[in-house]
Amino acid sequence: MTSSEDPATEARETLSRLHAVQRDFYAGGADHRLRELLADDVVWYVPGRNRIAGRYEGIDQVMAYFGRRRELASRTFVMRASEILVGEGDHVAALTEGRATLGGVERHWWTVGLYRIRDGLIAACWLLPLDIDEFDRIWR
């Protein structure tokens, strides 16, 4: 069975590619590899009451959100997925550790990213911080 025949393997591979290109982008790399993994009509949801919270619709808004996060963290933002939950549908969840230096202080948090994958591209993400109050303090 190839990955194109196995939705779980395809979802896992797509998410792995996303996290790899995000690491490069957040360190200051070009955005074209990240754009290539996003559907044109991608939607990204970030909860809370902080500088990055919001609903971002379309590839340009989502890329602007990524750029804002990169700048706020002065290119120190790093993500590491530790556990991935994949079913037989088009969603995948990843427990992810985030680290960044914000305002001269190294910060650390955990989120679950719930992603919708369509045609091998990220079509949506719902970011779910495990501690929303801490997440708001970090990104205020």
User: Can you give the pTM of this predicted structure?
Assistant: 0.91
Q: How confident is the model at residue 1 (pLDDT cuts 50, 70, 90)?
A: very low
- Domains belonging to the chain, first-starting first, are 7-138 (3.10.450.50)
Q: What is the pLDDT of residue 97?
A: 96
The two tokens of residue 82 are 């530790």
Q: What is the pLDDT of residue 139?
A: 95
Mind listing the pLDDT tens digit for each residue in 2-55?
445 677 788 888 888 999 999 999 999 999 999 999 999 999 999 999 999 999
Q: What is the pLDDT of residue 131?
A: 98
